[in-house]
Structure formats: C-alpha cells, structure tokens
Structure 1
Amino acid sequence: MFKDKVVLITGAAGGIGLEAAKAYAHEGAKLALVDLKNEALEKAASEIETEEILLITANVGKEEDVKNYVDRTKEQYGKIDIFINNAGINGQFKNIIEQTKENFSNVFDVNVMGVFFGMKYVLQVMKLQKSGVVINTASNGGLLGAPGMSAYVASKHAVIGLNKTAALEMAEYGVRVNAVAPSGVNTEMMRSIEKNAMGDKAEEARAQFEASVPMNRYATAGEIANLMLFLSSDKASFISGSYYRIDGGQGATSV
C-alpha cells in the first residue's frame, strides 16, 4: 500500500512511533525516524524490517533541529509523502494552583512547539510537491479535562487547533492533515502517567484508568498505528481537518 512512500516519524524510538514505523515498513515505505537519543533510535531500527531507513536525532522543541530533520529527509529521499508528527511528553501531575511554569513550558516545548515546527517545515515541502499527508498525535486529553494534567491537556487541545488550521491552509495544495486522539495506550508513557497519578500504587492507577474505558483495557500502540495507516492511505482521500477518537468507547460517555 505504501511502497516507495517516504514516511517521516517523530518520537519514533518507542511506543506509537515505533509501531507506526514497523507498520509502514511492512507496507514497503522508506522511513526517516526522529527521536532525542541515537542509541534509542538504533535499538528501534533493529526491530524494523527494512533497509530504507534514516535515523536522525533531534529535540523537536528546537526549531533548528526540526529544520535539520526535514532537510535531511528531503536530501536523502527527495520528498516527504507522510509525516507522523508524534513526539510528546506528559509532564508532571500537579493541580493548576500548584503547577510550575517550568513544567508547563517543558510540555509545551515538545507537544505544541514540536508539532508547530514540524508542520511549519514539512508543509513547505508538501506545498511544493502539491501532495502529502500529515497525521498529528493528539489525545483524548485534547477533548476532555483531566485533574492534575493541565499542561498536557492544554497542549493537546492546542494540537487539535493547529491540526484544523493547517488542514484549511493546505487544502488547495492537495495536502491532507488529520489527528488521532487516543485514550490510554499500553506504552511506557502510560507507565509514567500511572506513576505520576498514584506513586507506588501505579497498578491501582492502571486498574482505575482501564475501568474508565467501556472496553475495559488500554489500546495497543499497534491499534493506533493502524488508524494512522488508514488516514494516510488513499482510502481516506477526502478526509482532512478531522481528529479521530480511538478510545474503546470512552468518548461516547461525554458530549
């Protein structure tokens, strides 16, 4: 389905990013994988069955790093067909009255500025190509509130706003922009959230989080990757500016 397509993925060393990389590679895509540490990227690459792979270290919150990973991908492959704008962090759990500027800024640097910079430079390439697909990783936290997670929730609301705006700006150039909005996903990030929520009672936190989902479990990273593949395929050719809940029915409990 994606033979010879060039897929650029941030946050690619683990979780959703790594599963997306495996899925696109299985479909014949050429990969450019971005993450903070080269060692983690090399480990991820060892799990992916492809020879068409470029590894790039970058801090997505730094504009010059983002411009570099886009330039290097374009130089290597000549184009960017699909951009999985996925890198993100959850930050520390604190109520708003206890929240620190440092934590808020750290989360926004990655989750908002990283998404913004990524689209700023990738969309320049796609505009000239007059083709391309962007998938932004949002969250059900971009649709709902969550006590103690003000920085994360605000950042993911911002991602959805950026997603809608980019889709409108790029429609005339044949570029589609959508977002996925998962609930809890069974990854290391979720382990961090569980620990932040209840400290040494992380297993209890997991049980409570899973019980809040009508399907009574977390998503797998592979399930999120499957949605990304669909949204970036020709089967989704008239879908843009949308965000897709993938939450085991959790969204059906709210307006």
Structure 2
Amino acid sequence: MADKKQHIVITGASSGVGQALARFVANEAFSVSVCGRTEEKLKQTLADLPSNSVYGESFCVTDAKHTTDFIKRATQKYGNIDILVNCAGLNNVRKTGIDTCHSELSWLMEVNFYAPIRFMKAVVPSMQSRKHGVVINILSTACLFSNPSIAAYTASKAALDAYTKVMRKELRQDNIKMLSVYPGGIDTPFREADRPEYLQASDVAKAVFNLLQTAQYAHVHELVIRPQSEENFC
C-alpha cells in the first residue's frame, strides 16, 4: 500500500506567502488544506491547484468556531494533520505607538497572535499523541529590529515569537518541531508602491518548503530571510 501523503494546513492562502506555499506543496507528496479570508482570492488559489489533493474554506481566522470546524473537516477529509503553517497576518496600522488606538492594537493581536494560537491548539494535541508534527509560524523581521510607525504590528508578531519559543521547549519531548520564519520586506499587492528589490512571496514559500525537507531529527529553530537590499539588521 502506498504511503499516506503528509497532510499540511496553510492559513492565509488567498494571497502572499500562503498562496505561494500552497502552489509549491500541492505538486509534491502532500494533501493540502487551506483557508483564506477573501473568498474570490481563495477560489483563484484553489483553481491553480490539483483538485484531487486540496481542500479549502474561506473565513476570517479570528472566527474561533469556524477555525475549529475547519480543522475537523480537513482531518475528516485527509486524516491527521502533520504540518501546520500559520501564514495569515495583517499589517494595516502605520502609526506611532502613542497614536495607536486600543481597538487597532486589539485587532492586530487577534489576527497575528490569538488566531495562530487557536490553530495550534486545534492541531497540536493530535501531534502530541502521535509523537510527530511540524508547526511553522511566519513571523517578521520586525521581531528582530525596531522600526518606527509599526508598534502595533511589531508587538503582535513579537508576542507570537515569544509564545513559539516557549512551545518549542515544551513540545520537544513530543518530537514536534516548532519553526519560526522571519521574512524581511516582501513585494506584495498590499504595498502602496511596487518594491521589486524586495523578496517575492515565492522566495519565502520556497524557503519554507525547504525546511520541510530536513531530516527527521534535524530541527531548524529559526530562519531569517531578507532581501539583499535591506539594511535594518545588526
């Protein structure tokens, strides 16, 4: 009997790194479950992928019940989840820390911090019982270098960064890998101006895919990937 394909769940797959990663893994030995907030964009992602090994649902990752139900339906379709990649994220507040409203900070924390935790809580217990699993959290170099005018975004990503580092130690005995990826500037449609000198979403997706090819007992804790043009590092 042929080996079961690994089951990978990717959030934020309607655009950006999540979409690019879905395209990478769908053509490999994976069953792929994806979600994204924008229905039309997610439909385009799904249209680009082989239909026999991809499952998708459109919803906002802040919807706790839909998150739980999505994981249940994905598991029913393709079996236990082997890999979770938290790609969904938001950076829409460009203000100084003192000018950032509580509601703006709260929303970024919901999307960038609490939502990934909900996904981890939904999939990690099964990984623990099987003593096998990989969680990859797409963070940001904002966790590593303080930039003005993105205090709320930096705080939300740094919170997930710290949480991931603790979970890495907690889950080591269960043979679960907790990987942190810190991309620098990415040229995405969300930017006000094109930045061709920045990374492409596919560059980050390829780096994430390469992390999945490491040996069983090789655990790459952290990966920083920046455009060559970027200077904001120590």
* Alignment TM-score, normalising by the size of structure 1: 0.84
Q: Which of 192, 198, 210 is 1:218 aligned to? A: 198
Distance 1:16 1:59 in 2: 17
Which residue of structure 1 aligns with residue 168 of structure 2? 167
Partner AA of 1:157 in structure 2: A
CA shift digits 1:142-200 (9 cap, x unpaired): 111111111111111112112111211111111101011001112123x1xxx3xxxxx
What's the offset of the Cα at 1:138? 0.1
Change in 2 beyond 3 A, CA 1:236/1:143? farther
Q: More deviation in 76-85 or 230-239?
A: 230-239
Are residues 158 and 38 of structure 1, via their aligned partners in 2, closer, same or farther at CA, if it must alter by over 3 Å? same
One-letter amino acid of the counterpart of residue 211, structure 2: L
SS in 2 for 1:65: helix
Q: CA deviation at 1:137?
A: 0.5
Q: For the Cα contact (< 8 Å) 1:56–1:69, is it kept in 2?
A: yes
Return the offset for 1:62: 2.8
1:214-241 CA-to-partner distances (Å, cap 9, x unmatched) read xxx211111111111122223373215x
Report the counterpart of residue 155 of structure 2 in structure 1. 154
8 Å CA contact 1:142, 1:159 repeated in 2: no
Q: Structure 2, unaligned stretches of length 5 or more?
A: none
Code of the aligned partner of 1:144: F
The 2-side partners of 1:222 and 1:96 are apart by: 32
- Residue by residue over 1:103-148, the C-alpha shift from the partner in whole angstroms, topping out at 9 and shown as x without a partner, is 1111111000111111111111211221111110000011111111
- State the secondary structure of the residue aligned to 1:235: coil
Question: Shift in Å at residue 47 of structure 1?
Answer: 1.4
**1:248 Cα shift?**
2.9
% identity of equivalent residues: 26
Change (3 A) 1:144 1:127: same
Q: What is the number of equivalent residue pairs in this alignment?
A: 232
Cα distance change of structure 1 residues 161 and 79 upon mapping to structure 2, 3 Å threshold = same
In structure 1, distance between residues paired with 2:86 and 2:143:
15
Report the CA distance shift for 1:252/1:245 in structure 2 as closer, same or farther (over 3 A).
Answer: farther
- Letter of the 2:178 counterpart: V
The answer on whether the counterparts of 2:185 and 2:227 sit within 8 Å (CA) in structure 1 is: no
1:35 counterpart residue number: 36
| Amino acid of the structure 1 residue aligned with 2:52 | E
Are residues 1:239 and 2:200 paired?
A: no
Normalised TM-score (structure 2): 0.91
Q: Secondary structure at the match of 2:98?
A: helix
Q: Distance in 2 between matches of 1:14 and 1:237?
A: 32
- Return the alpha-carbon distance in structure 2 between the equivalents of residues 97 and 252 of structure 1: 26
Q: Distance in 2 between matches of 1:99 and 1:135?
A: 29
Instruction: Summarize deviations over 1:2-44 as a string: whole Å, max 9, x none.
Output: 9711110000111100110011012131110111233321111
Distance 1:235 1:250 in 2: 32
Contact 1:183–1:246 (8 Å) recurs in 2: yes
- SS of 1:188's equivalent in the other structure is coil
Q: For residue 94 of structure 1, what is the aligned residue in structure 2?
A: 95
Q: Any conservation in 2 of the 1:25–1:50 contact (CA below 8 Å)?
A: no
Question: Does structure 1 residue 62 correspond to structure 2 residue 42?
Answer: no
Q: 1:1-255 to 2 correspondence within 5 Å?
A: 4-189=5-190, 191=191, 195=192, 202=193, 206=195, 217-235=197-215, 237-240=217-220, 242-249=221-228, 254-255=233-234
Tell me if the contact between 1:134 and 1:232 (Cα under 8 Å) persists in the aligned partners: no
CA distance in 1, matches of 2:229, 2:83: 28
- List gaps (5 residues or longer) in structure 1: 196-201, 211-216
Q: What is the alpha-carbon distance in structure 2 between the residues aligned to residue 250 and residue 154 of structure 1?
A: 25
- State the distance in 1 between where 2:50 and 2:29 align: 10
